[in-house]
Amino acid sequence: MQISFASGAAAGSGACVVGVSEGGVLSKEAARLDDATSGALKRALASGRFKGQAGQSIEVLAPAGVSWSRIILSGLGKGEKFDATAAERLAAAAVGRLLASGEETLTFAVDLPKRAKLAEPDLAAHLALGAQLRSYRFDHYRKVSDDEKPTLKNVVVVTKAAAAARRRWSDVSAVADGIFLARDLVNEPANVLYPDEFAKRALALKKLGVKVEIFDVPAMKKLGMNALLGVGQGSAHDSRMAVMQWNDARAKAKPDAPLAFIGKGVCFDSGGLSLKTGAGMMGMKGDMGGGAAVMGLMHALAKRKARVNVVGLVGLVENMPDGKAQRPNDIVKTMSGQTIEILNTDAEGRLVLADVLWYAQSRFKPRFMVNLATLTGAIVVALGTEHAGLFSNNDELAQRLTRAGEKEGEPVWRLPLGDAYDRLVKSKVADMKNIGGPNAGSITAAQILQRFVNGVPWAHLDIAGVAWQDGEQKPLAPSWGTGWGVRVLNRLIADNYE
């Protein structure tokens, strides 16, 4: 879908979206169109209950006096509550309505309401972002009937600050591309996207200037990454580790002190010998959602030429049950030298991350590490599908992540860590066990990860509830895979480290 920005009054063909503030107050552009249509817009407002509330809209088809095929009146709500998220949701609703309607062009002529919490260029850029994110489709493996095929090809945003909006869009669209990449990866089936294929797709980032290294099984054995390798030893697909570096010459950070982001990349999780139920196995192609977010982030940073040095690492495995698979009560020695007793082979993500976290801190000496993982079902019980779980050993980093999540509509909620929880993963035969019992499952998983950060400022995001969606789709995420994480991490970097 093509996005463009135009200055001046809206004029053209196709559909046009204008704003109505709460109370039914027409915006300047809406009032102009009402005059041109001899009061058709006000008559439409008077015919129903729509009064300009946020999230509501009304459509006027083929109004006389203008060239538009339809005019959509979209509610702006109260001006002081109209922010970037509200602009994105407004645009997403319009695109969702018209994507396969037969319309080819959609124009947004939304005036900035009084007391709104954003500037004119930001309004335009976030209208464009909402439209772009809602346009995403994953139709690679199905035949789409003619009446389902998208017809909408062009989105035009009318703004008084067209030049500034285009500059703003350059960065914002790079983030959208990263989100689309992450969604594609999560949506791919496991028979297509296995560890080696994921690694090959990471190599494509070289075109954007990202340095990419792929570690195979012998290389990881040499490093002593036995926890990661143990997870994948029952699969026909060999494990991999992808290391992606974006180093910008203008970066303020020292070249030897990057920001590090680590993703869980379990391309399919059967549970191993601790086999999941049939229903529990559904959706486990998405157990690499953390890795997908890290790769999407690296794409976004490189494309917008971020002024920062960043390294992204993804441990790539497939957890399958065969004669070579690891067993309950096996003990593995991690790269750190610490040993883990395997009590449940379905608690595998923490084993993968244990080695990758240790490798990241020992090689790159990062300023901080953030890992993302669809790690526990317990986090879904605790937070549902609205918040990701946040665990951290550093208050400043936790606060910055929380603020970034609020700004980007990807909220996080911090949960505790502590010695009492740490004692729950104490093993009688090894340094630790990989599960802590029936209680506080998300916390004990985080306690295990913390043992491998070696004192580096660190945050763990448990994204099991937000990386994909089985039920009602969110306005900006129309597919199963959401691409969660790219936005919040990009915002963390842009606001604090560039």
Question: Catalytic residue numbers?
Answer: 276, 350
Per-residue HEC secondary structure of the chain comes to CEEEEECCCCCCCCEEEEEEECCCEECHHHHHHHHHCCCHHHHHHHCCCCCCCCCCEEEEECCCCCCCCEEEEEEEECHHHCCHHHHHHHHHHHHHHHCCCCCCEEEECCCCCCCCCCCHHHHHHHHHHHHHHHCCCCCCCCCCCCCCCCCCCEEEEECCCHHHHHHHHHHHHHHHHHHHHHHHHHHCCCCCCCHHHHHHHHHHHHHHCCEEEEECHHHHHHHCCHHHHHHHCCCCCCCEEEEEEEECCCCCCCCCCCEEEEEEEEEEECCCCCCCCHHHHCCHHHCCHHHHHHHHHHHHHHHCCCCCEEEEEEEEEEECCCCCCCCCCCEEECCCCCEEECCCCCCCHHHHHHHHHHHHHHHHCCCEEEEEECCCCHHHHHHCCCCEEEEECCHHHHHHHHHHHHHHCCCEEECCCCHHHHHHHCCCCCCEECCCCCCCHHHHHHHHHHCCCCCCCEEEEECCCCCECCCCCECCECCCECCCCHHHHHHHHHHHCC
